[in-house]
Structure 1
Amino acid sequence: MLVNAVDKDKNLIYATLVTGAIHGSVQLLPGGGFIYTPKPGFTGKDKFIVKGTDNHSNSVQTVITLDVTLNLIPPATPAKPIPTRRAMLPHEIPG
């Protein structure tokens, strides 16, 4: 969201979370990104609100809207057995 952003006074601006997501959790990262984790089974729209700050003043609030979809993994195809030849072991096995 904010990568190496500075204000007119050359103060570094970073994002702060104003309101978290309703259907998941949000973690703001130091580099300016975020991690969003939806609640189990949730799909649809979710949002959260952030603002920029330089510890002296705040910027306007910004709404981040997400469209959460299922990450469907295709079913695995069963492996076909590979025919092999019978072989004699080179050593006897005690037993």
Structure 2
Amino acid sequence: MSNSPSTQTRSVERAFDSATTWVEGAQTAATNVSEVLVGAARALSFWTAVAAPLFYPPLLYRGEGWLLVGLLLLHVVALLGGHGYEYDHA
């Protein structure tokens, strides 16, 4: 018999193993994507924190108080977000 229980069982087990492998691959890909996105956000935050002080003198000179306050808040957020950034020289 070609449809014996053992043949059906092996077929189901192979399908389950294949699905499990696919899910594990998808989880690995999602983890890799999230690591790349977090790394990019951290790098952007770091470099924003580096560049933000360059805009303080012009805003102070022109008397743009609200823009200066907004820039200070952005700088604080960027400092917090980019805190764990490690620059790779490679």
TM-score, length basis structure 1: 0.20
Structure number with the bigger relative contact order (C-alpha 8 A, sep ≥ 6) is 2
Q: Which has the higher helix share?
A: 2
Q: Which has the higher strand share?
A: 1
